[in-house]
Amino acid sequence: MRNVIRWVILAAGLATAAWLLNDFWTNFLLWRATQGTDPSAAELYSDNCLVDGGMIAAAVVVALILFFVLRSDAGGGRGGSR
Nearest by Cα to 14 from 71, 61, 48, 70: 61
From first to last of its 82 residues, the chain has per-residue pLDDT tens of 888 999 999 999 999 999 999 999 999 999 999 998 999 999 999 999 999 999 999 999 999 999 999 887 655 555 545 4
pLDDT of residue 75: 56
Q: How far apart are CA 8 and CA 14, in angstroms?
A: 10
For the chain, domain boundaries? 2-69
Category of 79 on φ-ψ map: left (φ > 0), alpha (ψ -120 to 50) or beta: left
Global pTM reads 0.79
pLDDT of residue 74: 58
- Contact criterion met (CB below 8 Å) for 26 and 48: no
Q: How far apart are CA 47 and CA 39, in angstroms?
A: 12
